[in-house]
Structure 1
Amino acid sequence: MSNLLDRIPEITDRPIPGSGRLLMVASAVLLIVAIFLPLWQIHLEAPQYPEGLDLYIHSYTLDAGSSGQDLDEINTLNHYIGMAPIEEEDFPEMTFIPFFLGGFALLSLRSAFFGTVKSAVDTLVLFVYFGAFSMWRFYHQLYTYAHNLDPTAPMDIDPFTPVLIGWKQIANFTQYSFPREGSALLLGAALCFGTAIWMGVRATADAKEKATA
């Protein structure tokens, strides 16, 4: 264990080959494009809504199906069960998430410029933390909406937790929740960085093996 800890500075100082640097540049492009694509989708189905109701979560705004009318329908249904209306003002993080993603794109280019395992690891760790916090925040908001129900609402329904990924039956509605293209690009950006780090570690190890052969 102590030997591994002693080797960490040597490992993190290793250079990343050119192909790995290109992956980090590709990661920056994916991050920028993800800003403009939906990150998540919530889809509701019920007998009275055969085509379903759709809510799309972007990094900077909420969007809904039927030119925005689906959100009005969802909020009307929420009123009957005592749930607060879903409003963009309740998501203050949408004012800064695009700037964070742009910042991570700049960090990606910085890592590609310096081209060391250390710079890439630093960026990847920060990005993973940002992603984990964002997922927790999203789940917390879903939980808060569905647990703070008005007891005087026309319909009496027990507090519930909307599903984050997958599907769930809620009264006569089936809720589906799943990531969209933006989230896929963010995952792709993380994979690009992870691959670049592995290439940097592996390339130096292979070079040392050839030198001692």
Structure 2
Amino acid sequence: MFKMKGQAKKLSVVSSFILVAASILIVISLFFPWWKMVFVAPQYPEGLNIIVYPNKLAGEIDIVNGLNHYIGMANFSEKNFPELSYLPYLVGGLAALTLLTALLRKKSVLYGLIGLFVIGGGLGVFDLMHALKKFGTNLDPHAPIKMDPFVPPILGHNTVANFQTDSLLGLGTYLVIAAFILLLIPLWKDRK
């Protein structure tokens, strides 16, 4: 039979529950690390970590800062990353918008939400790239150990002096990626 104009663009109840699950994953991601760097050297075979949560830094920050002092790198601290003061609110807002989308069940709102995810993810990657470039290329020329500027990778392996460094995504990022995948399922499921 004929469908009314508004009904054709509505998401199913199952899709709405999928969006609720995505919202829950986004909230849970706030309690887990989103990114980390692991530094291994002969004098630190167990490795040193910088662990980035949406609202704080963790790991052996003081030891890493002490070592970075020798090459003239700025200290890693929460005051050097103002994003940590407002990122939890942005992520919480995204979770709330995802829940609102589940309640409204409109495809047009879902498209907008997916757009926000893509823009937010892109800005997050750009921000992290910018921070890594700033820390690796603005080395103090009066530092005890002279070395060429460098940019640590967002993901992957790097060698700085005698340190082997691995940059990895944390569980929180995987939860957000899973939430994003859940957002795409209703577009396929309710495509008619």
Q: Classify the TM-score, shorter chain.
A: over 0.9
Give matches, 1:5-154, under 5 Å.
14-64=9-59, 70-154=60-144
Q: AA paired with 1:63?
A: A
TM-score (norm 1): 0.85
> Which protein is richer in helix relative to its size?
1
Q: AA paired with 2:157?
A: W
- Aligned Cα root-mean-square deviation (Å): 1.5
Change beyond 3 A, Cα 1:12–1:170: farther
Length, aligned pairs only: 188
Instruction: Return the alpha-carbon distance in structure 2 between the equivalents of residues 101 and 111 of structure 1.
Output: 15
Instruction: Return the alpha-carbon distance in structure 1 between the equivalents of residues 11 and 141 of structure 2.
Output: 59
Report SS of the residue matched to 2:141.
coil
1:13 CA drift (Å): 5.8
Instruction: Return the alpha-carbon distance in structure 1 between the equivalents of residues 137 and 104 of structure 2.
Output: 48
Q: Highest Rg: 1 or 2?
A: 1
Q: Does 1:192 align with 2:192?
A: no
Instruction: Return the alpha-carbon distance in structure 1 between the equivalents of residues 154 and 97 of structure 2.
Output: 29
Q: AA paired with 2:165?
A: Q
Change beyond 3 A, Cα 1:190–1:11: farther
In structure 2, runs of 5+ residues without a counterpart are: none
Asked if the contact 1:13/1:118 (under 8 Å) is kept, the reply is: no
Report SS of the residue matched to 1:51.
strand
Q: AA paired with 1:182?
A: G
